Structure 1
Amino acid sequence: MDSVSQTPFERYQPWRRSVEVGFWVVTYLVSAIGNSLTANMDVSRLALDFASWQPVAWEASSAIASLALIPAVVWFTRRWPLHLDNWRQMLPAHLLASVAWSALHVIGMVAIRKAVYATQGQHYDFGNWWWEFGYEYLKDIRSYAGVVATIEVYRFVLRRWQGEASLLDVPDDGPPMESVERPERFLVRKLGREFLVGANDIEWMQASGNYVNLRMRGHDYPLRSTIGGIEGKLDPDRFVRVHRSYIVNLDQVGSIEPLDTGDARVHMKDGSNLPCSRTYRGGLRQRVGQDG
């Protein structure tokens, strides 16, 4: 696909990883510098007996320990996403995660401080661990909440920018215009616009955490569902599971390439090559043969 036909979202993808990593690095770098400056100003104003490098070590160690935990929070929020419609169910898990965040943050920053102090021939004393951990947790739970909120808002913006699919709701009055259990169309919201796409237009689907990406005409639209959940709503005469993470539209299958491992590779008409595990290979070949 050339750059002229790519959407802004697709043009962003090569830069996405760098932007995401850069955002967190810059955020914690700016925070560490700003906090170090203000801490040194307080030390000078109150005439405290601290060298100028010590506040820098405190703030830098906290920032480095927090930054190292960001990938874990990204993974955790994929597994247990926090949305407006599920926050009550997810809150206990995230409260436990905030305790883990704080414990790892404290252990990491204390270890770094001890190492820095040792290079200066000094010993770093964290104090009473239970008391100090309680103090740090009151700050860390707010930091954890801020990180989770930033991640979830960013993902929400990405989904709307990309285009997010959903099942049609049951109307408030009267019967639905089509079967809710076997939907023929999906509603896609994209940048403030809404439009309907036919289920038959879906070429293939891929599980992605708590979402299933619907592939249509070169674009992916995430649908909040498990792969098994959406499989049960699709027309079994048209859609077939080929892998624990993939479902294909039989009309869009070009060919099936057997592999020496017993698995197979599914060549789609749009040029995509999808894995087919041996568990589903026989059923796929039978279906394609019957349909052909």
Structure 2
Amino acid sequence: MPDRPAADAYSRFQPWRRAFETGFWLAATLVNAVGNSVTVLVDHRRGGLEYAAWEPVVWEWSSGLAWLALVPAIVWFTRRFPLHWDTWWRQLPWHLLASVVVSLLHVLGMVAMRTAAYRLQGTGYDFGPWLPGLAYEYLKDARSYLVMVGMIELYRLVLRRMQGEARLLDAPDAGPPVEPLERPERFLVRKLGREFLVAAKDIEWAQASGNYVNLRVAGRDYPLRSTMADLEARLDPALFARIHRSYIVNLDRVASIEPLDTGDARIHLADGTLLPCSRRHREGLRDRIASAAAG
């Protein structure tokens, strides 16, 4: 494949990516905590409630810092259970469970910080009855969790679009095609108005994403407008295998298969990537890898 343009937007963004992601969550926490502190303080003063000026600051910052500490876990969880248009209903129960766990951790974290802050002021903090308090906090935290997951998934979608798009080779205007179109050896990848050839064997894995299938090539995702069934039919069955409703993997990239108690499995790739394997495909995949090794 020809060299990619060195100055494309995605490549320029990579050195700043970690700083941008970290800065975004820090800035969001700062703006939200300061804004809410001022708003709560003004509302209490208008209502004639007697609170020290530092108390709303402690409330909002303790909540914001607790959310900030949970960001890495939420990001990891969304990688393990991504919400895509075609699979969201299967992942939704996991996210509902995660929202409960996240809310509980958020409440415990902010209560611990508030208790410590109040003690430094020579007084005590009272969260109130725990059961009603946890229920009340969950109603707010569930919305916050949903917004965070939505922003994370939207950010990943933007990154995928920055990396480019892929399509199957078209038939020529005249004469026979260079290779059979029903099983192309190469795909066309479009990036910033330029097209590059990607060898099919270089595709590490593919993941369904709504009306697209994301092709992972050299650490980058290239959205291909196709269904998983159509893509599977076009890929070489000696090299690629369906491991899940939403995943196809290059067998040459598989390092090991980890069985799970549920009957499913986890696929470990040579680069450390983990992919889900459903029980429906687990035994077939194991047999194919064993046959390939014996051959």
Give the shorter-chain TM-score range: 0.5 to 0.7
Does structure 1 conserve the Cα–Cα contact (< 8 Å) formed by 2:164 and 2:223?
Answer: no
Letter of the structure 1 residue corresponding to residue 252 of structure 2: R
Change (3 A) 1:190 1:99: farther
Instruction: Name the CA distance, whole Å, in 1 between partners of 2:143 and 2:168.
Output: 35
User: What code does the residue aligned with 1:102 have?
Assistant: S
Local SS of the residue matching 1:100? helix
Q: Would the aligned equivalents of 2:188 and 2:198 in 1 still touch at CA under 8 Å? A: no
Are the aligned partners of 1:165 and 1:221 in contact in 2 as well (CA < 8 Å)?
A: no
Deviation at 1:36, TM superposition (A): 0.3
In structure 1, stretches of 5+ residues that fail to align are 169-176, 248-279, 288-292
Aligned residue identity for 1:220? R
Number of residues of Structure 1 aligned to a counterpart in Structure 2: 232
In structure 2, the gaps of 5 or more residues are: 170-179, 241-249, 256-268, 272-288
Q: Are the aligned partners of 2:100 and 2:138 in contact in 1 as well (CA < 8 Å)?
A: yes
Residues 57-113 of structure 1 show CA distances to partners (whole Å, capped at 9, x for unaligned) of: 000000000011011110001011001111111111111111111111001100100
Match of 2:107 in 1: 106
**Pairing of 1:70-109 with structure 2 (within 5 A):** 70-109=71-110
Deviation at 1:246, TM superposition (A): 4.2
Task: Pick closer, same or farther for the CA change 1:82–1:183 going to 2, 3 Å.
Answer: farther
Q: Displacement of 1:29 after TM fit?
A: 0.7
The answer for the alignment partner of 1:214 in structure 2 is 217
Contact 2:166-2:223 within 8 A present in 1 as well: yes
- Where 1:205 maps in the other structure, the secondary structure is strand
Aligned CA distance change for structure 1 residues 131 and 198 (closer, same or farther; 3 Å): same
1:199 aligned partner: 199
1:241 paired to 2:252: yes
Deviation per residue, 1:5-38 (Å, 9 max, x gap): 3312101100000000100110011000000001
What amino acid is aligned across from residue 10 of structure 2 in structure 1?
A: F
Partner of 2:21: 20
CA contact (8 A) 1:32 1:59 kept: yes
Determine the structure 2 residue equivalent to 1:120.
121
Pick closer, same or farther for the CA change 1:9–1:66 going to 2, 3 Å: same
What secondary structure, in the 3-state scheme, does the structure 2 residue paired with 1:83 have? coil
- Equivalent pair of 1:205/1:214 in contact (CA under 8 Å): yes
Letter in 2 for 1:141: A
Structure 1 72/187 Cα, relative in aligned 2: closer, same or farther at 3 Å?
Answer: farther
Maintained 8 Å contact 1:82/1:152: yes
Do the aligned partners of 1:188 and 1:221 also contact (CA within 8 Å) in 2? no
RMSD after superposition: 3.8
CA distance in 1, matches of 2:150, 2:144: 10
**Cα offset, 1:165, TM superposition:** 4.5
How does 1:112-261 map onto structure 2 within 5 Å?
112-165=113-166, 178-179=181-182, 182-186=183-187, 188=189, 197-200=197-200, 203=202, 205=204, 213-215=216-218, 220-222=220-222, 233-234=235-236, 236=238, 241=252, 244=255, 245-246=269-270
Give me the whole-angstrom Cα distance separating, in 2, the residues matched to 1:154 and 1:190. 18
Q: Does 1:67 align with 2:78?
A: no
Which is bigger in relative contact order (C-alpha 8 A, separation at least 6)?
2
Cα-to-partner distance string for 1:205-226 (whole Å, 9 max, x where unaligned): 3799x976213xxx83346999
Q: Residues of 2 paired with 1:97 and 1:240: CA distance?
A: 32
Equivalent position of 1:267 in the other structure? none
Q: How far apart in 2 are the matches of 1:234 and 1:31?
A: 51
Change in CA separation of 1:183 and 1:99 when aligned onto 2, cut-off 3 Å: farther
